[in-house]
């Protein structure tokens, strides 16, 4: 048995029911009212159905006149009609309010997703939890968390019906009751075993579902459309679909098999139960122990009693399953949030002053990796210092800045900013002092201006914005759009949106970081997509861009690091060289070697370009 199969639910059914009640009370009180309203109908409607034929047959037996019969039938029929209308009404209302609850759950899930600690978000397990939470939100009255209360009401109402019918059947033969109960208990345990199996294994098919969602999204998104066509990725997509779909189908087949066995056991139990009970009734009529109208009544009561029992049993078995859904939902809501820890220290610094950053024995290992990506990093960055981080691909540069950003927590060691330990500080207060530009660019479907300022129109500092536009080079970009500042982005969401080029997007990200005007600026290859003129312009303006700030600049273009006060060279997760550009050249080791190779390449390229120009 593996780890997952041993997994025990974190909360019991009662605790989950209390949680559900509180949440529904918070999201939509009316749904509770409608769920409760189901109870009398569940009990009364079948009772009317059972008594109607008995009354008719009884009155025929007693020679009642037509008027009497019509009154009796009409009164029960009217009661049944009212109850049925009420049942439909409540059903409609419950469905409507279920939609409301789904919306509220979706909101809750997405606000939570935006607040989860970044490091947790990076884990596949968290992605599975998010998928489960959304599935539960869309589960409605049958699978959603509200189903738990609906089931409780169903059990309670069926319990009432069970009590009434037990009283009636008790007068006939208590052994029949015992037999019906025994057969339903067998059904319950089989059904419980099936649900437990589903709970223990569902993570496995949810992981496959996530892969299938990824494939569906990627194969139909504009983002990948170009590569799919030019590199004939269709074959790979079909293959991957086929592979994961086959695995998914195998799980579905297994699950169907378990449900089928469950249904077979259920059918056998019903056959035994009804066969014996009806046989006994026929025997009593044949013996003359009961009248025909009593036969009709008991006949209805026995089948009704069995359905009360099976409704109770089915609901009890389902209670476990839904309770597990509630557990999953609760566990998702309990994931650590980056700004959650109320008790954690708030970072309070002067935003106009650059910050000191200190790394002491910092190592970091990704959860999925065996070895540490960063090892024993010791570094003190002075307030206002301009640091360049260089190294080969995969050396650990981005991981290093993500640690400084507080997105990851060191596996060992400590990072402090102005004496505040990042592991203990409230992250949202720290993020105010950071203005990073990462390699992967994510823009919002709003205007260029809003993408930069990320605040309400009346809060925009226009002179500062204009300065940032100029410094980042965005002033030239917007000139070509009639909408200027207010040009919309992201075509998927806005029909009138424009598509920025990679370099233009990078300039926008730089403008966003500049506008934030935070004391720590982090630039992870901010010039990778810029043309040589824009890149050169940025280097020339580097001091101006980072004035009065502590800055960390990652670049593969070693010539650009000259503008920095200190360069650190990372190799295999360790700092192997540190110093100014001239010091590292004088050292004559790895950095000097890398610089020489690059300088030669750029010199040759320059000469080639000059030759081409002359000829
Ligand atoms: N989320 C992750 N989970 C597991 N491993 C990761 C993750 N992110 C990065 N890594 C691994 O950590 C190592 C360092 O990655 P990192 O992105 O820090 O390198 P880098 O120096 O910034 O590289 P590049 O110059 O190519 O951007 C790589 O081997 C990478 O595969």
Whole-number pLDDT of residue 327 = 92
What is the domain count for the chain?
2
Mean pLDDT of 435-439: 90
Domain with 583 in it: what CATH number? 3.40.50.300
Q: Is the CB of 582 under 6 A from ligand 1?
A: no
Does residue 463 share a domain with residue 397? yes
Residue 46: how many other CB atoms lie within 10 Å: 23
Q: What is the rounded distance in angstroms from the CA atom of residue 47 to the CA atom of residue 45?
A: 5
Does residue 567 share a domain with residue 482? yes
Does residue 274 share a domain with residue 362? no
In a domain, 496, yes or no: yes
Does residue 384 share a domain with residue 321? no
Does residue 182 share a domain with residue 94? yes
Burial letters 577-606, b for 16+ CB under 10 A, else e: bbeebeebeeeeebbbebbeeeeeeeeeee
Q: Is the CB of 122 under 6 A from ligand 1?
A: yes
Does residue 402 share a domain with residue 285? no
Mutate to test the pocket of ligand 1, among 394, 523, 529 (most ligand atoms within 8 A of CB): 394
In a domain, 5, yes or no: no
Q: What is the rounded distance in angstroms from the CA atom of residue 443 to the CA atom of residue 451?
A: 7
Does residue 401 share a domain with residue 326? no
CB-count exposure of residue 364 (10 Å: 0-12, 13-18, 19+): buried
Contacts of 199 (CB under 8 A, 6+ apart): 7, 9, 321, 324
Q: Give the pLDDT confidence of 513-524 residue by residue, as tens digits.
A: 999 999 999 998
Does residue 146 share a domain with residue 98? yes
Domain span including residue 112 = 15-333
Q: Is the CB of 555 under 6 A from ligand 1?
A: no
Q: Give the pLDDT confidence of 322-358 residue by residue, as tens digits.
A: 898 899 999 999 998 887 555 578 899 988 899 999 9
Q: Give the pLDDT confidence of 64-120 residue by residue, as tens digits.
A: 777 887 888 888 888 889 999 999 999 899 889 989 999 999 999 999 999 888 888
Whole-number pLDDT of residue 246 = 95
pTM for the whole structure: 0.74
Domain with 120 in it: what CATH number? 1.20.1560.10
Centre of ligand 1 to C-alpha 397, Å, is 8
Q: Is the CB of 146 under 6 A from ligand 1?
A: no
Q: Work out which ligand 1 atom sits closest to the CA atom of 573.
A: 14
Does residue 411 share a domain with residue 298? no
Does residue 399 share a domain with residue 251? no
Q: Is the CB of 323 under 6 A from ligand 1?
A: no
Give, using CA atoms, the residue closest to atom 3 of ligand 1.
Answer: 366
CB-count exposure of residue 277 (10 Å: 0-12, 13-18, 19+): buried
More confident residue, 544 or 28: 28
What is 451-502 written as a DSSP string? Answer: HHH-S-GGG--HHHHHHHHHHHTHHHHHHTSTTGGG-BB-TTT-TT-B---H
Whole-number pLDDT of residue 341 = 57
Centre of ligand 1 to C-alpha 106, Å, is 32
Whole-number pLDDT of residue 603 = 57
Q: Which two tokens stand for residue 499?
A: 């598509």
Q: What is the rounded distance in angstroms from the CA atom of residue 147 to the CA atom of residue 155?
A: 12
Q: Is the CB of 62 under 6 A from ligand 1?
A: no
Residue 48 has pLDDT above 70, yes or no: yes
Mutate to test the pocket of ligand 1, among 397, 410, 411 (most ligand atoms within 8 A of CB): 397
Q: Is the CB of 2 under 6 A from ligand 1?
A: no
Query: What's the pLDDT band for 4 if we cut at 50, 70, 90?
Result: very low
Helix 124-137 vs helix 174-220: crossing angle, to nearest 10: 120
Does residue 267 share a domain with residue 386? no
Q: Is the CB of 370 under 6 A from ligand 1?
A: no
Asked whether 430 and 486 are in contact (CB, 8 A), the reply is no
Give, using CA atoms, the residue closest to atom 17 of ligand 1.
Answer: 398
Does residue 388 share a domain with residue 324? no
Q: Is the CB of 573 under 6 A from ligand 1?
A: no
In a domain, 343, yes or no: no
Q: Where are the beta strands (DSSP E) in 300-419?
A: 357-364, 374-381, 386-390, 412-417
> Measured in Å, how far apart are the chain's first and last C-alpha atoms?
75
Closest by Cα among 51, 54, 32, 40 to 82: 40
């Amino acid at each position: 048995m593996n780890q997952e199969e041993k997994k025990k639910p974190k909360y019991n059914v009662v605790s989950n029911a209390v949680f559900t009640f509180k949440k529904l009370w918070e999201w939509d009180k009316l749904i509770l009212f409608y769920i409760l309203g189901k109870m009398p109908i569940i009990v009364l409607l079948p009772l009317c159905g059972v008594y109607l034929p008995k009354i008719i047959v009884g009155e025929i037996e007693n020679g009642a006149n037509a008027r009497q019969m019509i009154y009796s039938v009409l009164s029960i029929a009217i009661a049944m009609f009212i109850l049925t209308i009420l049942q439909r009404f409540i059903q409609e209302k419950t469905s409507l309010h279920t939609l409301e609850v789904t919306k509220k759950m979706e909101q809750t899930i997405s606000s939570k997703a935006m607040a989860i600690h970044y490091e947790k978000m990076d884990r596949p397990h968290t992605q599975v939890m998010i998928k489960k939470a959304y599935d539960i939100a869309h589960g409605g009255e049958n699978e959603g968390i509200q189903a738990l209360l609906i089931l409780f009401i169903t059990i309670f109402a069926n319990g009432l019906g069970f009590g009434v019918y037990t009283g009636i059947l008790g007068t006939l033969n208590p052994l029949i009751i015992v037999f019906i109960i025994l057969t339903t208990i067998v059904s319950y345990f089989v059904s419980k075993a099936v649900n437990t199996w589903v709970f223990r294994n569902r993570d496995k098919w949810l992981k496959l579902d996530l892969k299938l969602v990824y494939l569906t999204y990627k194969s139909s998104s504009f983002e990948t459309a170009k590569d799919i066509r030019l590199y004939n990725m269709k074959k790979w997509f079909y293959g991957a679909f086929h592979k994961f779909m086959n695995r998914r189908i195998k799980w579905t087949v297994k699950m169907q098999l378990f449900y089928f066995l469950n249904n077979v056991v259920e059918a056998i139990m019903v056959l035994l139960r009804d066969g014996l009970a009806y046989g006994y009734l026929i025997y009593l009529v044949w013996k003359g122990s009961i009248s025909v109208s009593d036969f009709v009544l008991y006949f209805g009561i026995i089948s009704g009693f069995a359905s009360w029992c099976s409704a109770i049993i089915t609901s009890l078995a389902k209670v476990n399953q839904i309770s597990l859904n509630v557990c999953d939902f609760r566990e998702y809501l309990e994931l650590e949030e980056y700004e959650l820890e109320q008790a954690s220290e708030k970072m309070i610094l002067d935003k106009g002053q650059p910050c000191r950053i200190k790394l002491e024995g910092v190592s970091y290992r990704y959860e999925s990796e065996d070895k540490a990506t960063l090892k024993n990093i010791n570094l003190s960055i002075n307030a206002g210092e301009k640091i360049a981080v260089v190294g080969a691909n995969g050396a650990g540069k981005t991981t290093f800045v993500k640690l400084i950003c507080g997105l990851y927590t060191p596996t060992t060691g400590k990072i402090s900013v102005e004496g505040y330990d990042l592991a203990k500080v409230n992250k949202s207060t720290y993020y105010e002092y950071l203005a990073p530009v990462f390699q992967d660019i994510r823009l919002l479907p709003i205007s260029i201006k809003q993408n930069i300022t990320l605040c309400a129109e009346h809060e925009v500092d226009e002179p500062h914005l204009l300065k940032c536009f100029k410094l980042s080079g965005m002033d030239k970009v917007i000139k070509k759009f009639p909408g200027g500042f207010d040009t919309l982005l992201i075509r998927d969401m806005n029909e009138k949106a424009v598509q920025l080029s990679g370099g233009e997007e990078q300039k926008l990200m730089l403008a966003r970081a500049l506008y934030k005007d935070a004391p720590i600026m982090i630039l992870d290859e901010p010039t990778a997509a810029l043309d040589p003129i824009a890149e050169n312009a940025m280097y020339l303006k580097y001091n101006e861009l980072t004035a009065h700030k502590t800055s960390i600049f990652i670049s593969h273009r070693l010539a650009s690091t000259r503008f920095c006060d200190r360069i650190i060279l990372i190799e295999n997760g360790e700092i192997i060289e540190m110093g100014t550009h001239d010091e590292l050249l004088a050292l004559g080791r790895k950095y000097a070697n890398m610089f020489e190779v690059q300088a030669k390449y750029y010199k040759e390229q320059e000469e080639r370009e000059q030759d081409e120009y002359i000829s």
